[in-house]
């Protein structure tokens, strides 16, 4: 697909519906993610939840990917395949999810902190999430694609000293999971495609604690940092508007689930 496909308001609402289902699926993951549970257990719950809502997992079977969720732990950047290894205290777990319904996709991702995560790694998570919103702030009509890329890179690399993965990028979204344009997390202001209303893109910074270099495992999917230092990944699907982007996914569902888990943990520790 070589051309950008701009979306009508009706199409944007279909994509929003799907992105909200993705967000609620991630919230379900957040409710169940705890020490001792496995990626395969979470994946099964997510698939059942999506299908119960009349949609299909957007990733399962996509170019042969075997699972509903991409679950990427610690040094894994993206595209981790769920397995039977229990999560442990101190893990960070990036969960990327997509759904397909009414001929359109939804897509979003979030990195969860499991239990007592080190201060250095927690700061990486905070900065990566903040860099996502820096990029979204730049996604306005009459701007340029490079404005989004620059905002993410400047905040993550120049301000905080982390590194941006170069080989993996955000993307357009619609009837296909990956459409034009690609949305790099590094670049120059004022460069690239002019941003117009009707453009729907997934913005997804992938930021490393150490060096930017990555490698792919023998499974053909799992991408990890070469220096084996942690990596964080957050994603929203947005549409360009005049003055302020419209965020079609919603992290508030899963952040509420995280808060609930923290409160329950406090109660159990007191009892």
pLDDT tens, position by position, 237-266: 999 999 999 999 999 988 887 887 666 565
Residues of the chain with pLDDT under 50: 1, 269, 271
Q: CB-based contacts of 202: which residues, under 8 Å, 6+ apart?
A: 107, 108, 170, 171, 172, 173, 183, 235, 236, 237, 238
Which pLDDT score, from 0 to 100, does residue 1 have?
Answer: 43
**pLDDT value at position 254?**
85
Angle between helices 252-270 and 9-32 (to 10 degrees): 10
- Nearest CA to 114 out of 125, 104, 106 is that of 125
Pairwise CA distance, residues 19 & 16, whole Å:
5
The structural domains of the chain, with segments of one domain joined by +, span: 9-270
Q: Half-sphere exposure (CA, 13 Å, Cβ side) for 141?
A: 9
Q: Are 35 and 89 in contact (CB under 8 A)?
A: yes
Handedness of CA 261, 263, 267, 270 (dihedral sign): positive
Q: Measured between alpha carbons, how far is 153 from 137 in angstroms, rounded to an integer?
A: 14
- The backbone region for 221, taken as left when phi is positive above 0, alpha when psi lies in -120 to 50, beta otherwise, is alpha
What's residue 265's pLDDT?
Answer: 61
What's the pTM? 0.95
The torsion of the CA quartet 229, 214, 39, 87, rounded to 10 degrees, works out to: -10
| pLDDT value of residue 263 | 66
Q: Which residue in 41, 91, 39 sits closest to 70, CA to CA?
A: 39
pLDDT of res. 256: 85
Q: What are phi and psi of 45, to 5 degrees?
A: -60, -40
Architecture of domain 9-270: Alpha-Beta Complex (3.90)
Q: In sequence order, what are the residues at sequence separation of 6 or more whose Cβ sits closer than 8 angstroms to the Cβ of residue 33?
A: 42, 87, 93, 112, 114, 261
Q: Which residues pair with 107 in a beta bridge?
A: 98
Q: Which residues contact 133 (CB under 8 A, 6 or more apart)?
A: none
* Separation between Cα atoms, residue 237 and residue 140, nearest integer Å: 14
Q: How many residues does the chain have?
A: 271
- Identify whether the C-beta of residue 97 lies closer than 8 Å to the C-beta of residue 25: yes
Q: What's the farthest any 2 CA atoms get from each other in the chain?
A: 59
């Amino acid at each position: 697909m070589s051309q950008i496909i701009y979306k009508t308001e009706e199409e944007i609402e279909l994509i929003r519906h799907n992105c909200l289902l993705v967000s609620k699926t991630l919230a379900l993951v957040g409710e169940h993610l705890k020490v001792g549970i496995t990626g395969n257990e979470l994946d099964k719950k997510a698939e059942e939840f999506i299908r119960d809502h009349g949609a299909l997992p957007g990733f399962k079977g996509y170019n042969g990917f075997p699972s509903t969720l991409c679950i990427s732990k610690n040094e894994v950047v993206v595209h981790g395949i769920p397995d039977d290894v229990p999560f442990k205290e101190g893990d960070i777990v990036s969960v990327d999810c997509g759904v397909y319904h009414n001929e359109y996709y939804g897509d979003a991702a979030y990195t969860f902190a499991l239990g007592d995560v080190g201060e250095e790694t927690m700061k990486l998570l905070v900065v990566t999430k903040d860099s996502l919103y820096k990029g979204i702030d730049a996604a306005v009509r009459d701007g340029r694609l490079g404005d989004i890329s620059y905002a993410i890179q400047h905040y993550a690399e120049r301000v905080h000293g982390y590194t941006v993965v170069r080989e993996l990028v955000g993307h357009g979204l619609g009837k296909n999971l990956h459409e034009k344009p690609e949305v790099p997390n590094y670049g120059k202001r004022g460069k690239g495609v002019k941003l117009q209303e009707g453009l729907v893109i997934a913005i997804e910074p992938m930021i490393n604690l150490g060096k930017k270099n990555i490698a792919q495992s023998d499974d053909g999917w799992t991408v990890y940092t070469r220096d084996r230092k942690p990596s964080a990944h957050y994603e929203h699907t947005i549409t360009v508007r005049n003055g302020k982007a419209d965020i079609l996914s919603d992290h508030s569902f899963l952040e509420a689930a995280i808060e609930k888990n923290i409160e329950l943990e406090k109660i159990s520790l007191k009892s």
